Amino acid sequence: MEINLPRTILSDEIGYSSLITIFNLCERKNNSNIFFNFNDLRFIEANLCSIFGCILEILNKNKCTYHFIGMHDNIAVILNKNNFLTHYLNAEKIEDDFNTTIKYESFHNTRQDDFYETYIYEELINKKDFPKMSENLTIKILENIFEIFVNAKTHGKCEYIHACGQLFPNQKNKPLNFTIVDLGINIKENVNVSKNISLTACEAIEWAMIEGNTTKVNEPGGLGLSVIFQFIALNKGKFEVISSNGYYNFSNGKIKTRTLECEFPGTIINFTFNLDDENSYTLKE
């Protein structure tokens, strides 16, 4: 089977839906040869390699063979710089001289917690031009993002967690996208089964975003993202969640949700940080 990639793939509803549609095509294949045709693709936001990693994960699980064909040099270069092609095709690593990538990683669920913490700090928070913040706020932001990895393992019961990021220094606000994806139990199923309720995907995501809400039994929890939500609002960044057919967007201090036409079995989380922000931030005591 040959799959033609679209001309552009961005971190927006259209881009997510394009990759989810490709995932759903691949999920139905077993013992097949899959050819990804990149000939039409002129631009991809490389943080979306996290989703592409899930596509390759399901193909490996289904004992399929995959091939990348027609890839233009500019696409190959960025996917080499961020470790994606190196990871899957043993391509020669290209150094990221301009430090615009967050290295692609596929974490097995047996990885120790400190490995995630080191990755988040060294690849994301320690990035040049990341907004200045106090030490206690830095620790809290790291904890908030780390909690997403932990939830993917404990709530989602996934086998792998895929993470990747990309900085766009020439765009307005110098956005830095950081995307975390897993194929574990999605938020809708997790919330509805554990709480014996019947929420839509969007409602379930909104429920999960409320501090203190958790599907754990007899434990305090929830994603605990209140601090990073406040930071994203002040930083003029963005936070997105796609799970099942629900799309959740927090930006400009407002929440927007939408039901997608396609359905993703796991969860996609994308952070967008504004690196053109010259403010300094501290955590209130």
Task: Read off the pLDDT band of 218 (50, 70, 90).
Answer: very low
Which two three-digit tokens encode residue 12? Answer: 């927006």
Q: What percent of the chain is modeled with pLDDT above 70? A: 96
Return the closest-CA partner of residue 12 out of 53, 44, 60.
44
The residue with tokens 């043993």 is: 90
Does the pLDDT value for residue 221 go beyond 60? no
266 in Cβ contact with 153 (< 8 Å): no
Q: Domain residues of the chain, as ranges?
A: 2-91+100-281
Question: Tokens representing 252?
Answer: 């400009």
* pLDDT above 90 for 7: yes
Which CATH entry fits the domain spanning 2-91+100-281: 3.40.462.10, 3.30.750.24, 3.30.1370.100, 1.10.579.10?
3.30.750.24
Per-residue pLDDT reduced to its tens digit, 75-108: 999 999 999 999 999 898 899 999 999 999 999 9
Residue 144 has pLDDT above 60, yes or no: yes
Report pTM. Answer: 0.95
Rg of the chain over Cα atoms, rounded to whole angstroms, equals 18
How far apart are the C-alpha atoms of 194 and 182, rounded to whole Å?
19
The amino acid present at 210, given as its one-letter code, is I
